[in-house]
Structure 1
Amino acid sequence: MPEINLVPMMDVIMTILTFFIILTMTMSNFQSVDIRLPGRGDGKSAGTNNTPTKPLIIGLDVRGQIRSREIGAIDRAQMTQQIQAYLQQNPEGVVVLNADKDVPYAQVVQLLSAMRDVGGGRVSLAIQ
Structure 2
Amino acid sequence: MRFRHTEDNGIPTIDLIPMLTVMMGVLAFFVVVSVSLGSEELIQVDLPPEQTEETPNDTDSVQDPFVVEMDETGQRLLNGNPIEPETLAIEIESYLAQNADSIVYLIPSRQLPYEQVVQFLGDMRAVGGERVSLALREDS
SS of equivalent residue, structure 2 residue 106:
strand
Alignment of 1:1-128 (within 5 A): 52-69=62-79, 72-127=81-136, 128=138
- What is the aligned length? 79
Please state how far the C-alpha of 1:55 moved relative to its aligned partner.
1.7
Name stretches of at least 5 consecutive residues in structure 2 with no aligned partner: 1-59
C-alpha deviation, 1:51, in angstroms:
5.0
* 4+ residue runs over 4 A deviation: none
TM-score of the pair, normalised by structure 2: 0.52
Give the alignment's TM-score, normalised by structure 1: 0.57
Q: Which runs of 5+ in 1 are unaligned?
A: 1-49
Structure with the greater alpha carbon radius of gyration: 2
Measured against aligned partners, the alpha-carbon deviations of 1:11-39 in whole angstroms (never above 9, x if no partner) come to xxxxxxxxxxxxxxxxxxxxxxxxxxxxx
Instruction: Verify the 8 A CA contact 1:53 1:92 in the aligned structure 2.
Output: no
1:53 Cα offset (Å): 3.5
Q: In 1, distance between residues paired with 2:88 and 2:124?
A: 8
